Structure formats: structure tokens, C-alpha cells
Amino acid sequence: MSEKVRVPQIFGLITMVENEEASGDTLIEAAQQARNLLEHIRNTSTIIRDLMESLSKEATPARYLSKFFSDYIERVFIGDYRELRTREHPLSKRQQILRIVDGIDESPIERMRLIEWYEDKQFPGDMARAERQYERDLHRLRELTRIDEYLDRLDDEIRRANRRALAYLDYSVRTVRPIGQMINVAIESINGGTQLLMCDPFAAGGMINGMNLALPRKFTKRLAPSKLRKVLPAPGDIARAHVMQRARDARAMNSPKLTAFLLQQLGGQTQIESSDLEIEKVVEGRAYQSLLTISVAMGTESPTLQRDVRSMVPGFNVMPQSIGEESHHLVSGRTFRVARKNKAKGKS
């Protein structure tokens, strides 16, 4: 990977940004390196597929074997794939990189410093575009969470290519004997030809026998489908299923529903206590339960757990409050506070 991306490079660049040794240009470089790393893994899978497809068009086993070792074994398997799975393993610094990215984004000072750099160097006088570019670069770095998926696909392509090559080589070895030529010599010898049969091309026993020929294909007539397949559920069963589906949808909670609930409850406020949240519907009760679960996770010391639940409420901070107090008169649990995240404002 001399010309390809190394994970320690991304880690070093993002660490410089965290320590304020560098500014937005280094963050842009780290984001581009992360994007190039994912593209390199994805392109390696494509190269393997194209290479095996071109090998299947080789006329002779000798040319197939020569190109297989020169193009696939040396260049891909021993080269790119070996480095990806050993010293240049993409997962080596992934968690540290993601933790630093979250720390930078959650620090108002660091966030503002970088956005101001974007505005000053790339988008003079346009703070909105500067903030969008900042968010886009952070998103590219957070895409490293999908690197397991790309590596699994690459492993599948490697295994598929190996099986395909072994099957072709095994078939070529088994068919290396000139069976067709030996059969022609045997027929000519039996017909009284001048060419002598030097060896018996057939195995011992009745190899050429009518009983050994393939049997004719038998077509089985399929029975007509049963009438039960045409029976529709009763209207009452359909209505009951619809009601159950609506009940499941009402109880299901996701990020858009939580965001809509918080925007409705906050109105023009910047923060709200858990005891002030209004619960009148099932959807609102499920939203409150989800917020309570998020607040408990945010009160732990696990960065992984906090990162997972933070994605449920983008744009908001949900933090637990004092222990032992009831959070709501309808739901028991620890109190919490919901606040909007501070957005960067333009220069005066």
C-alpha cells in the first residue's frame, strides 16, 4: 500500500486537529484519506471480480495458470489483500479515530474554531456553507464504522476466486490425457485400420454398455393447486391484523419520531425538564420511555454506548439529572433534561 491510505496516517492527522496543532486543512486531508481507504477496499473487490472474469476467457490451462499467479496471487492476494489483513489492517485505529471525531464535534470551542477556518479559507462570508462542509468531512470520517462490511465483502470475493480457480485447475488436470485421440485410435483399430492400438483407453468392465447410458428425462405432471390456496382471510381477521399493525407502528420508536416529539415539546425553548414533558398518547409515552433509556446510557462511562444512543436524537443533548427523583408523574425513573445543541453562529 505504498500509494494507498494507511490508517495510522488518518489517526495522526486527526490527532493533530484534536491537539490544536493543525486546523481545517488537516481535517480535510484526514477525511479524504478515510474516503480513499474505503474506495481502495471496494475497488480491490471489483478488481478481483474483473480479473477472474478475464481469466475464464484464456484458451489454455498454461496461460490461465500463468496469469493467475502473476496477476492474482502476486499483485492482489500477496500484495493488497495481505497488507490489508496484517500491518495495514483498517480496524487497527478505527475506535480511536471515531472517539476523537466525536470529541471534536462535541466541543463547542473546537467546532467553532474549525468552522471559522472553513469560512475564512474556503467560503468567505458564508458561514452556512462552511458548517455544511465541516459536517460533510466529519461524516466521511465516521464512515469508517462501515469498514467491517467492506472487509467482509472482500473476504467473500477472495474465497470465491480461490474456489473458482481450484475448480478450473482440478478439471484441467483431470482432462489432460488425450482421451478423444485414444478413442479414435481404438475405433480405427477395430475397423481393421493400419494404426495399432498401443493401450486400452477404457477401464476394466463393461464401460461401453447400453445399460450405462443416461436414462431419458421423465417429466412429472404437477398437480393443480389446492383450493385452500385461493381462500382469503375473513374480513374480521384482516381488520384485526390491521389493528395489530397500527399498534406495533405506534409502539415502534425511531429517530424521526423522537425528533418530532422533542420539537413539539420544546416549542421555542432551548431546553426542557423530563417532568414538563406532556404525555397524552401512546406514541408520546413510547417517546418518553426511549428518552429515559437514552439518558441512562448517557450517564454511563461507555463511549460506545453513548455514541450508539446519541444517533437517536441528533441535534439534542439528553443528560440525566439527580438520582432518586421521579422523572414524571406517569412514568417512574431518573430525571433528565433535553437541550438543543449549540449551533455555530455567523460572525458579527
Mean pLDDT of 234-246: 88
Q: What are the pLDDT digits (tens) for 98-122? A: 888 888 888 888 888 888 888 888 8
Q: What are the pLDDT digits (tens) for 177-207? A: 666 677 777 777 777 655 555 555 555 556 5
Share of the chain above pLDDT 90, in %: 0
Q: Alpha carbon 121 to chain centroid distance?
A: 34
Terminal CA-CA length for the chain: 47
Cα(34)–Cα(40) distance, rounded to whole angstroms?
Answer: 10
Question: DSSP E strands: which ranges in the chain?
Answer: 271-273, 316-320, 336-340
Cα(336)–Cα(325) distance, rounded to whole angstroms?
Answer: 10
Give the pLDDT confidence score for residue 347 in this predicted structure.
Answer: 41
What cell does 326 get? Answer: 421521579
Q: DSSP letter at 340?
A: E
Mean pLDDT of 221-237: 74
Are 101 and 14 within 8 A, CB to CB? yes
Are 8 and 91 within 8 A, CB to CB? no
Give the pLDDT confidence score for residue 122 in this predicted structure.
Answer: 83
Q: How buried is residue 30: exposed, middle or buried, by Cβ count under 10 Å (0-12/13-18/19+)?
A: buried
Cα(248)–Cα(242) distance, rounded to whole angstroms?
Answer: 10
Q: What are the pLDDT digits (tens) for 41-90? A: 788 788 888 888 887 777 677 777 777 777 777 666 665 666 665 555 66
Checking if the pLDDT of 146 tops 50, the result is yes
What's this model's pTM, rounded to 2 decimal places? 0.44
What cell does 115 get? Answer: 468552522
Domain ranges of the chain: 7-173, 248-340
